[in-house]
Structure 1
Amino acid sequence: MRTTVLVIGGGATGVGVARDLALRGVDVTLVERGALAAGTTGRSHGVLHSGARYADADPDDAAACLAENRILRDVASACIRETGGYFLELDDDDPAYFEAKRAACADLGMAIETLDGDTLRDRVPEASPVVERALAVPDAVISPSRLVVANAVAAREAGATINTSAPVESIHVVDGRVRRVEVGGALDASVAADVVVNATGPWAERCAALADVSVPMRPTRGVMVAVENPGVDVVLNRCRPPADGDIVVPHPDEAVLGTTSVVVDDPDDFERSGTEVTRTVRECAAMAPAVADAPTTRTYWGVRPLYAPDEDDRNGRAISRDFALLDHADDGAAGFVTVVGGKLTTYRKMAEATADLVCERLGVSATSETAERPLPGSDDPTHLDELVAEFGVDAPAG
């Protein structure tokens, strides 16, 4: 079979690329080895970041988050719950860090509000009695399963072909250009393509190796512990440098506590440490004590798709997670493109940048429409949930 662009990977970025290209009139096929959202996307904590988390460490990345936060509220309303969020300064946290965070958010033009501990507890009774101050920010909660399916449906409606249970087995590069990809599983076909997009997240290094190019990754695991929600209805962030157990995310019946960051060698096969689970619950309970005694409903692990050269520049665990877009023409694989890194909040921007590069290589002049065009389901969330079931989405994050 033949397609103009083959996208490998059915997470938010992959389906976002497929949708963006299809809306520009490009013939595009997507293949995913398992179910949609089965990787990093479906195993996040489900926060639509305001950018406050990154404001003091990386204002450019924070500005991108804030812009995408606003766009997604317009175009993906059925995927978002307007919870709001707070950054909490506890009695043993550094007040200077809080002040730096507040100033950085203000510099971005973010809508913020500073509350003393008593006012915060009036609004959020579950908050700890040792909270000294809180910074209100426009965080929200997003449903990864709805988001991915809405993009997949939109891509399909625009002419794209979406294939799940279709693992890539080999990539053939001839005379310095990608020529075809062998896909097994339900598709079981040799796919000829002008451009191949590697949007496989933490598996990007393995996928790139099939084309004999190097994409050094440093995937890290993080645990999410879902407990019966004791009443938390806003996103709670610890206002301190990045550390384990610094976020509590409200979902309809659960509160998701996260997370940790440990480098893994294999994104498919890694240790799941009980110590990390215990530490995450303990640290999150410092913000909302009731979560410590709430029954655990499930525990799941995500693997972040971190690009190793960027991580080297950040010198270890860092609070900012930007993305990298790699054109492998100079590596002897023209027509092969990799997008890695980033976060769920900026998936649309990542997809647009990738589609821009692909269209430049193809000589397509059409521009992106995804910042203005609403995703399917905005007027009928129930139908969107039916489509989630139809696609068999694998997303414990909701």
Structure 2
Amino acid sequence: MESPTVLVIGGGATGAGIARDLAFRGVTVTLVDRGGLASGTSGRSHGLLHSGARYADSDPVGAEECIRENRVLKRIAGDCLRDTGGLFVQLAGDDPEYFETKRDACEAVGIPTTVLDGDAARDVVPDLSPDVERVMRVPDAVVYPSRLVAANAADARDHGATIRTHAPVEGMTVADGRIAAVDVGGAIDDRIEPEYVVNATGAWAERIAAMAGVTVEMRPTRGVMVSVEYDRLGPVLNRCRRPDDGDIIVPHDSEVVLGTTSVSVEDPDDYSTEAWEVSDTVAECAAMLPPVADAPTLRTWWGVRPLYGPDEKARGGRGISRGFFQLDHAADGVENLVSVVGGKLTTYRRMAESTADHVCDRLNLDADCLTADRRLPGADDPDRLDAFVAEFDGGGVTDADVIDTPEL
């Protein structure tokens, strides 16, 4: 039986980031996940490292957080990223005032932009649609989540954390207003008795919280990603309009990922998928980059966004905010449990820092965050990164074409 100071439930980017942060602060931490690392939302994204431009006009605080974390990750993450840059694309018929609003909002929060006319944009991306009237350059990039999550877990482990994959949480014992024990099956099949518990399970946070008798209202939505064969795209492409289906194209080496849709689901493990999501996404993306319409499809997958219900209800729409929330369940009668929900892959490190600050405060520990200044292990060695992915069974569909996992 393990008795760590902190148990982190959830091995996506946020959970692995929290384990790394706490381990750097000298906290004894165990992380558990029901599958391999990044087996949930983190490993089923489109792999866009946001500059913040997507949210600049609707959520300037979140956009500013994105550009800060974008810069941090470009310093520390090495070959977990590919620094491609990005273009926000205005097509004929798109609202030119929205383009100007977006640019002004980017400049206001410190996101650098450069505007190119259609001809100059086609010099950068020759296959852009002739309907492209102008584009705005922004510092978007591509992230390989399998490498990013595994490198965070490896760094946590190297600083004393215990990483347990294929270890699903099956129940909790709550006594005297505290979680006394957590029952973990699979590879552990034992009880863990932590002082504090972090619920970092994303779209599954409601289910884990319920085991402790508290409520976390999630409103998950599914989104499709379609990877097609195409090797001539340099920067990320974003349609410069209010967030909608099929408005992002993310380049890899020999393919591009087209995304996405947003459809509410009741159960993040059991939901239907529809053919129209695929066809609409391809058609909308082809409006920016026509060759993808007929390009061979290589992979199709869906991911589930970990959206926090009250925030979604208050804001009233898709893409308006992807901020994160810490729910201290002491207010619900469970003193040693916090849930962290919402957010974006781009801001995982900041989410982890904030959560680690909270945990240390609750444990009366005085220790500073170090993760913004420490490069991830293997950052300059793709083979080592991919060995981490294999070690933690962390390969995901998003970057399956990039990761070369050796046999262990």
Report the TM-score, using the length of structure 2 for normalisation.
0.97
Cross-structure match for 1:93? 94
What secondary structure, in the 3-state scheme, does the structure 2 residue paired with 1:378 have?
coil
Cross-structure match for 1:371? 372
Cross-structure match for 2:386? 385
Deviation of residue 230 (structure 1)? 4.5
In 2, distance between residues paired with 1:109 and 1:16? 25
Residue identity in the other structure for 1:375: L
Deviation of residue 319 (structure 1)? 3.2
Residue identity in the other structure for 1:76: A
Deviation of residue 330 (structure 1)? 1.3
In 2, distance between residues paired with 1:284 and 1:325? 35
The aligned runs of 1:250-261 (5 Å cut-off) are 250-261=251-262
Q: Say whether the 8 Å CA contact 1:89–1:239 is kept in structure 2.
A: yes
Deviation of residue 390 (structure 1)? 2.3
The aligned runs of 1:1-398 (5 Å cut-off) are 1=1, 2-398=3-399
- Give deviations 1:130-173, integer Å, cap 9, x for gaps: 00010000000011001001000000000000000000000111
After the TM superposition, which parts of structure 1 deviate over 6 Å for at least 4 consecutive aligned residues? none
In 2, distance between residues paired with 1:27 and 1:230? 45
Deviation of residue 54 (structure 1)? 0.5
In 1, distance between residues paired with 2:362 and 2:330? 10
In 2, distance between residues paired with 1:330 and 1:196? 15
User: Is there any run of 5+ residues in structure 1 with no aligned partner, and where?
Assistant: none
Q: Say whether the 8 Å CA contact 2:155–2:376 is kept in structure 1.
A: yes
What secondary structure, in the 3-state scheme, does the structure 2 residue paired with 1:3 have?
coil
In 1, distance between residues paired with 2:87 and 2:320? 17
Deviation of residue 388 (structure 1)? 1.2
In 2, distance between residues paired with 1:80 and 1:187? 33
Deviation of residue 320 (structure 1)? 2.1
Residue identity in the other structure for 2:269: D
Q: Say whether the 8 Å CA contact 2:198–2:339 is kept in structure 1.
A: yes
- Give deviations 1:283-303, integer Å, cap 9, x for gaps: 000000000010000101000
In 2, distance between residues paired with 1:378 and 1:230? 25
In 1, distance between residues paired with 2:254 and 2:9? 34
What secondary structure, in the 3-state scheme, does the structure 2 residue paired with 1:383 have?
helix
Residue identity in the other structure for 1:362: L
- Give deviations 1:344-364, integer Å, cap 9, x for gaps: 000000000000000001111
In 2, distance between residues paired with 1:237 and 1:321? 17
Deviation of residue 318 (structure 1)? 2.8
In 2, distance between residues paired with 1:45 and 1:142? 9
In 2, distance between residues paired with 1:288 and 1:48? 20
Matched residues, percent identical?
63
In 2, distance between residues paired with 1:33 and 1:51? 31
Instruction: After superposing the two structures, state which structure 1 stretch, 135-144 or 312-321, moved more.
Output: 312-321
In 1, distance between residues paired with 2:275 and 2:171? 37
Q: Say whether the 8 Å CA contact 2:64–2:110 is kept in structure 1.
A: no
In 2, distance between residues paired with 1:371 and 1:111? 21
What secondary structure, in the 3-state scheme, does the structure 2 residue paired with 1:395 have?
coil
- Give deviations 1:214-254, integer Å, cap 9, x for gaps: 00000000000000014112100000011000000001121
Instruction: After superposing the two structures, state which structure 1 stretch, 104-113 or 80-89, moved more.
Output: 104-113
Q: Say whether the 8 Å CA contact 1:230–1:294 is kept in structure 2.
A: no
Q: Say whether the 8 Å CA contact 1:53–1:319 is kept in structure 2.
A: no
Residue identity in the other structure for 2:299: R
In 2, distance between residues paired with 1:319 and 1:233? 27
User: Is there any run of 5+ residues in structure 2 with no aligned partner, and where?
Assistant: 400-408
In 2, distance between residues paired with 1:190 and 1:109? 48
In 1, distance between residues paired with 2:340 and 2:253? 32
- Give deviations 1:79-103, integer Å, cap 9, x for gaps: 1111000000000100000000011
In 2, distance between residues paired with 1:56 and 1:337? 31
Residue identity in the other structure for 2:272: E
Cross-structure match for 2:403? none
In 2, distance between residues paired with 1:252 and 1:36? 24
- Give deviations 1:46-77, integer Å, cap 9, x for gaps: 01100000001111100000000000000111
Residue identity in the other structure for 1:28: V
Q: Say whether the 8 Å CA contact 2:231–2:252 is kept in structure 1.
A: no
In 1, distance between residues paired with 2:131 and 2:231? 18
In 2, distance between residues paired with 1:319 and 1:260? 15
In 2, distance between residues paired with 1:372 and 1:243? 36
Instruction: After superposing the two structures, state which structure 1 stretch, 378-387 or 208-217, moved more.
Output: 378-387
In 2, distance between residues paired with 1:313 and 1:179? 35
In 2, distance between residues paired with 1:343 and 1:110? 17
What secondary structure, in the 3-state scheme, does the structure 2 residue paired with 1:312 have?
helix
What secondary structure, in the 3-state scheme, does the structure 2 residue paired with 1:98 have?
helix
In 2, distance between residues paired with 1:122 and 1:306? 38
In 2, distance between residues paired with 1:271 and 1:35? 23
In 2, distance between residues paired with 1:251 and 1:191? 41
In 2, distance between residues paired with 1:231 and 1:380? 25
Report the TM-score, using the length of structure 1 for normalisation.
0.99
What secondary structure, in the 3-state scheme, does the structure 2 residue paired with 1:193 have?
coil
Instruction: After superposing the two structures, state which structure 1 stretch, 169-178 or 298-307, moved more.
Output: 169-178
